[in-house]
Each structure stands twice: as structure tokens, then as C-alpha cells.
Amino acid sequence: MSNPTTTGPEMPVFHSTSQASTRTRLTKALFGFTIIATVVVVGIADVFNATHLFNPRWPGHARFHIGMQFTTLVLVSLASLGALTGPLDKAKAWLAALAPLTFWPGLLVSWFIPGTDVYATDELRQMGIPINLGLSLLFIAVTLWGLWLAGALEKPVSAK
């Protein structure tokens, strides 16, 4: 397998078309998975169930913020999905990564805020595994893998 060379902001240039198309398809699939899975998981866990947005015990203002957060996530996710159309360069790779990389780190940071709880229900607490933190790390890792495949994590070569 030949090594790719990089020529500017686009994806690495491969000496074989099949290598480039396979790498590009994998990169787009990873981004597509993390973008769509983020919206679906948040929709199930935070929006369309009785523990968060539709929990009558939650203050109205807290529910307002969940609704606002989900709307923002959907809009940013649409922009991220749009970046996956056509050729994928480094700028479009970063735009594709925008939705998962702006949502999931916030969940990790929230873990350290006094008074917060990573468990939405007592059943999850009894399992002893903070599923949401695991999903957060998984989606961040898969998104970073996509950025790496796209060559977006490489330092730009300075012109001399």
C-alpha cells in the first residue's frame, strides 16, 4: 500500500483511486454515523421520553433549555451533514465534525459541575455504568478518527 501525499487543504492524494475512494467513503461514513447517532441518541435520551423534556417535575425553564439545545443540535447537524456532500476537503471535514465535537464534550464537562448527576434514573445508577459518558467518549473518538482520516489533524506545511 502506497503512502498518500498531502497537497493543500484537500484530502490526502493517493496513488491509487481505490485507496482514495475507500478512505473517503470510510471518512464520510464515520462522520455520518456520529452526526446522525448524536441526534438520535439525544432525541431518545433527552427529548422524547419522560425523564427530561417531557418530565412534568422539571421546571419550565429547564425544559425550555433542553428544547433550545435540541433545536440547535439539529440545525448544526444539518450543516455537518451538508459538508459530506461532494468532495471532502479539510474545511468540510471540520464542518462535518462540528455537531458531535460541540455537543459531546459539554456532557463530559457537565459531569464536574457540582449538583449534576450522570444518571438520569435510579435503574441506570444501579447498573453503575454512566452510559452517557461512554457514548460521549465513543462519539468523540469516532469523530476524531474521521478527522484523522481526512488529514484535518495534520499541521499545515508553511511556505518558505
pTM: 0.82
> How far is the first Cα of the chain from the last one, in angstroms, to the nearest whole number?
31
Give domain status of residue 24, yes or no.
yes
Residue 15: which pLDDT band, with cuts at 50, 70 and 90?
Answer: very low
Residue 31: which pLDDT band, with cuts at 50, 70 and 90?
Answer: very high
Give domain status of residue 64, yes or no.
yes
Cα separation values, 2 from 5, 12, 17, 28, 123, Å: 9, 12, 11, 21, 51
- The one-letter code for the residue type at 41 is V
Give domain status of residue 30, yes or no.
yes
Give domain status of residue 58, yes or no.
yes
pLDDT digits (tens, 9 = 90+) for 51-81: 889 989 989 999 999 999 999 999 999 999 9
Give domain status of residue 77, yes or no.
yes
Cα separation values, 140 from 31, 80, 97, 100, Å: 10, 15, 9, 7
Give domain status of residue 3, yes or no.
no
Residue-number span of the structural domain to which 142 is assigned? 17-149
User: How big is the chain by its Cα radius of gyration, in Å?
Assistant: 19
Give domain status of residue 11, yes or no.
no
Tell me how many domains the chain contains. 1
CA distance 102 to 64: 20
pLDDT digits (tens, 9 = 90+) for 95-143: 999 999 999 999 999 989 999 988 888 888 999 888 899 999 999 999 9
